[in-house]
Amino acid sequence: MKEVKISRRTFLKGTSATVALLSLNSLGFLGGNTIANATEKIFEDWKYAGWENLHREEWTWDKVTYGTHLVDCYPGNCLWRVYSKDGVVFREEQAAKYPVIDPSGPDFNPRGCQKGASYSLQMYNPDRLKYPMKQVGGRGSGKWKRVSWDQCLAEIAEGIVDGLEAQGPESIIFESGPGNGGYVHVMAVHRLMVSLGATVLDLDSTIGDFNRGIYETFGKFMFMDSVDGWYFGKLLLIWHMNPVYTRIPSYHFISEARYNGAEIISIAPDYNPSCMHADEYIPVEMGSDAALGLAVCQVLMNKKWVDYPFVKEQSDLPLLVRKDTDRFLSAADIEKGARDDQFCFWDSKNNKVVKAPLETLKLPCDPALEGVYKATLLDGKTVEVEPVFNKLKALLDSEYTPEQASEMCRTNPDTIRRMAEKCYKASGGIQVMVGWNSPKYYHGDLIERAMCLVLTLTGSLGKKGCGIRGWNESLFEGAFTQIFKQKIGLMNLTRQLPLMRRVWESFKKEDPTISDEMASIKQERVIDRNMVNYTIPAFLYYNHSNYKKAWDNKAWHCPTMKREFKEYYDEAVNSGWWDGYVKPEKDQTPTVYCWMGTNPARKNRGWEKNILGSLWDKYKTIFGFETRWTTTLLYGDYALPCAGFYEKLDTRFPTPHVPWLTLTDEAVKPIGECKTEWEICLMLAKKIEEAAKKRGKTNFVPRTPVQEEYMPFLNQFSVRDAKGNVEISKLHDWQLMGSSGKDFDEIMEDALQSSVMLGNLPPGTNLKYMREHGIVRFVDVSIFDPVTMNLATDIKPDEPIIPLTWHTGEKKVPYPTYNRRIQFYIDHPWFLEAKEELPVHKDNPKIGGNYPLRLTSGHQRWSIHSIWVSNEQLLRTHQGRPFMFMSPEDAEKRGVEDGDLVRVFNDFASFKIHVKVTPAARPEKGAAKPGQVIIYHAWEPFMFPEWKSYDIAIPGMIKWLDLVNNYGHLHYWRWNWCAQPIDRGISVNVEKA
């Protein structure tokens, strides 16, 4: 073969493996010899072969494994083939092997996005964390020193034991992210923190993804169809979602739905990228969607375009409300010894009050929806009562006609009527495609309650192609939480379900009318409070940080909050509503902070003003499990470098949206000195034991008492003794979970087997199968896990997951709400005081002050949260720096031009950012109609001048009603009913910098 002369540069371009090797070498990831040997060999091979070998080399590899991305790119779960050579991953490609489920619709293939396609570059990005590090020049100084694992973990362990001794277990604060880092490895860190008795901050209340209004209405929000169900909808209302940006692998189901006759409407304040692909764009004022939704309902009710049988059977609209008290008419009101949480219908045929059954949705009569009636109370007194439907109709007719609503939401009345007619025509087939934008508005619950009302009036729930969605991290949950929360030690004895069953059955015995789902929620509350120390961060923030200053500022709350915020807070705490959850207590100073899979300095609203300088300074030891240099890490004390997504065995957290368990495998060894979280936790557990032993300490006493009746269970859930004390000498053994501690395969195998045993995964699923196939579809839900139970459906092998069928189908299982029906009327005294007993519209409060613009946000297209935001390749696909959208009108008023650097400010803080002028943003129209500026998240604060990101101007208010915790389902449990600092619709102004 003729020798071809070719420059070294061209040669290097030719083989991806070589490029990867060289770039790694230049960044110091590999030893000099490794790179020299590898490149020389390739170079030698090539020299005598010819240019064809460029391509031959490009398509050679040592190994192909399955991989996915362990991030909250919800719903994710895309399966990739990962190609590695000489210990380096050099490319990945979509595996595209999802089987056809429902032949009448499209399949899932291929799944993937540009972030996933560039993860092999991301794992070698210059900001990859490779070694244990200690900050030696003070937090935020940037002066770091490389230390050994031994030193790093020993010092952290000393800090933890200091904290345990000085302030008790609750003073150790753990904050985790939404599954970033892998399902099993996240749980490994959780397990260690729970064992220590640390305060575990609830996930949803730190990320703000709790759909409050859906929860208020259904008693749950973690239900949804699988994304292939979107194809079967008749009318898809994209509402508080931007799927073109955020659902890249699933978006095709939306566009393909048109082939099935669906119509797509996008409802948003700005003409976002999803609007241009819709059949109709309906503009709405920021945060005023409740007015639009309620006006649609007003038209539906007045035209009698209502699915009456559905409304009567499924919702609380026929339940009677007393006109004298505005409370539900209860069975106890009319019958001696009857329950006060059972409510009543008006039997329209026999003209009398009839009790609504508690254990079923089956109707005992034909309940009236309209009219006012008289009911006789136990004391002989007669009171007027009316169905919720009647009250609602009167409210909508008086305040939410299309013309009235148009004043609030700036949507044309004719557009509202047209939308109502489309909803009527699509009855039984409307999908409200809501994301996690609405819950981040102050009155997001009202917005979602209005959406749910549209769906309920049109009977668009529990059928193929319709419904609404929250998020759900479940299906596998049944098995994995059993393992990590309850495993008692021996492998293959993971399944101590009898223990769970005893708690669960005790609730069923106590009240035989409750459903399995309600029992599993109650059981979860027991676990969260007593065994895993979950709590909302509101107490930590209010007692120990500067959030208090913001929350106590009445001017930044809704004017309908009648009393001072502090009064509500005190009432909620002093009434005992949150007993067991207020941790650390007011006089218990936080001492240690640990995070994993999250970036709190980027994410926590107003972090720099609210936490840095107050709560942050109280922590004596701060450490994080990280794969890269985040802003949070830059403010920390110790960096624990973790294996990347192709450097360890794990699964992506599963979800009903994409109901496959998806494996990622160790394609290559972790780079530098990185280790898996599992390994790190084992090592850290040992160090903590040693540090305590040196001080002669064997146990530590938590302040939060365990509920007496659950004390016997406690030592089966954690390293607690019979008195509830943390037995520190057992930490390492507990963390092993009965495994040898040497081979993570054991853990994964056990998890898979447990899931098979619980019936979540099909028989025959094991690690060998997963390594061969990469994915496996779930076959059932677990009755012991409330999150999976919230789906309330049976998974079928040949159709999309359709949630809620246990309620809407033949079973007629009640909903887990206070009144056990789809609940639109909330008669809690605080809701009555706020006039939010029914869904209403309320304007955004002036959070941050009285300014003419409102800051909104959403997920950006080029990164999953901040994980890819510094990726060199992706930075080249956009402006490569933080930017803010602004309307031409508002820009011109301020002399701002495209590309200008501006200062954004309010009464809370200010920051600088570049502007992108676009007519897609809403301009200001007079004092009552603010203009819009949009910053898609999630830029790292260190990308802004002085590290001041847009988050700094967000005070992070919480709505006072979220502090209720004594009303049926308005009662905290993991990820549910958790007050969350909001970040949308913030008042700001802009000036040229």
The residue (of 80 and 972) whose beta carbon lies closer to ligand SF4 is 80
Alpha-carbon distance of 542 to 843, in angstroms, equals: 25
**Tokens 């996008």 appear where?**
266
List the one residue from 18, 23, 39, 68 that touches ligand SF4 (CB under 6 A). 68
Burial of 428 (0-12, 13-18, 19+ CB in 10 A): middle
* Residues composing the chain: 993
Q: Shortest gap between Cβ of 70 and ligand SF4 (angstroms)? A: 9
Q: Tell me whether residue 116 or residue 816 sits nearer to ligand SF4 (CB atom).
A: 116
Contacts of 977 (CB under 8 A, 6+ apart): 210, 215, 962, 965, 969, 970, 971
Using the contact rule CB under 6 A, the part of the chain among 69-77, 443-451, 610-618, 630-638 near ligand SF4 is 69-77
Interface pick for ligand SF4 out of 105, 249, 402, 636 (rule CB under 6 A)? 249
Count Cβ atoms below 10 Å from residue 829 Cβ, excluding itself: 13
77-96 binders of ligand SF4 (CB under 6 A): 78
Per-residue 3-state assignment (H helix, E strand, C coil) for 937-987: ECCCHHHCHHHCCHHHHCCCCCCHHHHCCCECCECCECCECCCCCCCCCEE
Among 14, 35, 42, 76, which residue interacts with ligand SF4 (rule: CB under 6 A)? 76
Tell me the closest approach of the beta carbon of residue 878 to ligand SF4, in angstroms.
16
What binding mask, one character per residue, do residues 810-849 give for ligand SF4 by CB under 6 A, x or -? ----------------------------------------
Cα gap 868→875, rounded to integer Å:
9
| Count of residues touching ligand SF4 (by CB under 6 A) | 13
In whole angstroms, give the CA distance from residue 416 to residue 296. 6
Site for ligand SF4, residues 621 to 650, rule: CB under 6 A? none
DSSP 683-695: HHHHHHHHHHHHT
Choose, by CB under 6 A, the member of 73, 692, 726, 938 that binds ligand SF4: 73
Residues of span 97-116 touching ligand SF4 by CB under 6 A: 111-113, 115-116
Hey, is 871 helix, strand or coil? coil
Build a one-symbol-per-residue string for 859-888: x at contacts with ligand SF4 by CB under 6 A, - elsewhere: -----x------------------------
Task: Report, in Å, the least distance between residue 94 CB and ligand SF4.
Answer: 8
Contacts 24+ apart (CB under 8 A), 339-346: 341/818, 341/819, 341/968, 343/316, 343/319, 343/819, 344/319, 344/320, 344/375, 344/385, 345/318, 345/319, 345/320, 345/387, 346/318, 346/320, 346/371, 346/373, 346/385, 346/387
Nearer to ligand SF4, 68 or 211 (CB): 68
**Part in contact with ligand SF4 (CB under 6 A); list of ranges 65-73, 163-171, 516-524, 598-606:** 65-73
Supply the minimum distance, in Å, between the C-beta of residue 867 and ligand SF4: 9
* Residue 515: closest CA among 323, 705, 359: 359
Closest separation in Å from C-beta 351 to ligand SF4 = 58
Q: How far is the CB of 249 from ligand SF4 (least distance, A)?
A: 5
Taking the C-alpha atoms of residue 361 and residue 150, their distance in angstroms, rounded to an integer, is: 60
CB of 758 to ligand SF4, least distance (A): 25
Q: Which is nearer to ligand SF4, 74 or 484 (CB)?
A: 74
Classify 17 as helix, strand or coil: helix
Q: Which is nearer to ligand SF4, 111 or 846 (CB)?
A: 111
Q: How far is the CB of 399 from ligand SF4 (least distance, A)?
A: 42
What strand order describes the sheet that includes 133-135? 144-146, 133-135, 638-641, 621-626, 592-596, 172-176, 199-201, 534-535
User: Which residue lies nearer to ligand SF4 by CB, 120 or 632?
Assistant: 120
Q: How far is the CB of 79 from ligand SF4 (least distance, A)?
A: 8
Task: Supply the DSSP symbol for 330.
Answer: B
DSSP string of 186-254, one letter each residue: HHHHHHHHHHHT-EEE-HHHHHT---HHHHHHHS-------GGGGGG-SEEEEES--HHHH-TTTHHHH
Q: Considering beta carbons, is residue 78 or 826 the nearer one to ligand SF4?
A: 78
Q: Shortest CA distance to 650 belongs to which of 675, 669, 676?
A: 676
**C-beta closer to ligand SF4: residue 68 or 589:** 68
CB of 871 to ligand SF4, least distance (A): 12
- The least CB distance from residue 189 to ligand SF4, in Å, is 21
Radius of gyration over every alpha carbon of the chain, rounded to an integer in angstroms = 28
Minimum distance from CB of 976 to ligand SF4 (Å)? 25
Which two tokens mark 974? 């993991």
Among 30, 65, 69, 799, binds ligand SF4 (CB under 6 A): 69
> Which residue's CB is nearer to ligand SF4, number 591 or number 655?
655
The residue (of 73 and 938) whose beta carbon lies closer to ligand SF4 is 73
Helix, strand, or coil (residue 283): strand
243 lines the binding site for ligand SF4 (CB under 6 A) = no
Residues 6+ apart with CB under 8 A from 94: 78, 79, 80, 81, 109, 110, 111, 112, 117
Shorter beta-carbon distance to ligand SF4: residue 68 or 348:
68
Q: Tell me the closest approach of the beta carbon of residue 699 to ligand SF4, in angstroms.
A: 43
Part of the chain binding ligand SF4 (CB under 6 A), chosen from 66-74, 127-135, 398-406, 891-899:
66-74
- Which residues of this chain interact with ligand SF4, rule CB under 6 A? 68-69, 71, 73, 76, 78, 111-113, 115-116, 249, 864
